[in-house]
Amino acid sequence: MKAKVSTEWLSGCSGCHIAVVDLHEKLLNLVDSIEFVRIPVLMDVRDYPKADIGLVEGAIRSDHDREAVLKMRESVDKLVAFGTCASYGGVSGLGWLYKDDAILSKVYGGLPTTTETERPQGAPVLEHSVIPIDEVVEVDVHLPGCPPHPYYIAQAIKVLLGEEGAVMPAGTVCSQCNRKMVKREGVAFKKGAVTAPEKDICFLSQGVICLGSVTLERCRAQCTNKGVTCAGCTGPSIAVVTEPHLDIRSMVAKRMSLLTDIDENEILDYMAKEAKTFYSYALSSPVVYKKPTVEIREWVGEK
**Piece in contact with ligand SF4 (CB under 6 A), picked from 71-79, 107-115, 117-125, 175-183:** 175-183
Binding of ligand SF4 by 58 (CB under 6 A): yes
Among 57, 65, 134, 247, binds ligand SF4 (CB under 6 A): 57
**Nearest CA among 143, 253, 142, 228 for reference residue 177:** 228
Please list, in sequence order, all residues whose beta carbon lies within 8 angstroms of the beta carbon of residue 94, skipping any fewer than 6 positions away.
130, 276, 280, 283, 284
Give the Cα separation of 179 and 195 in Å (integer): 12
Binding of ligand SF4 by 224 (CB under 6 A): yes
Give the nearest distance from C-beta 297 to ligand SF4 in angstroms: 22
Binding of ligand SF4 by 76 (CB under 6 A): no
∠ at Cα 85 (278, 237), nearest 5°?
A: 50
Contact (Cβ atoms closer than 8 angstroms) between residue 227 and residue 210? no
Q: What phi and psi values does residue 141 have, to the nearest 5 degrees?
A: -140, 135
Give the nearest distance from C-beta 270 to ligand SF4 in angstroms: 16
Among 95, 147, 150, 207, binds ligand SF4 (CB under 6 A): 147
Give the nearest distance from C-beta 41 to ligand SF4 in angstroms: 12
Give the Cα separation of 271 and 209 in Å (integer): 9
Binding of ligand SF4 by 132 (CB under 6 A): no
Cα 155 from chain centroid (whole Å): 18
What is the footprint of ligand SF4 within residues 179-218 (CB under 6 A)? 179, 181, 202-204, 210, 212-213, 215
Q: Number of residues in contact with ligand SF4, rule: CB under 6 A?
A: 35
Give the nearest distance from C-beta 39 to ligand SF4 in angstroms: 14
Give the nearest distance from C-beta 179 to ligand SF4 in angstroms: 4
Give the Cα separation of 206 and 280 in Å (integer): 23
Give the nearest distance from C-beta 253 to ligand SF4 in angstroms: 13
| Binding site residues, ligand SF4, CB under 6 A | 12-13, 15-16, 57-58, 83-85, 90-91, 146-147, 173-174, 177, 179, 181, 202-204, 210, 212-213, 215, 219, 221-224, 230-234
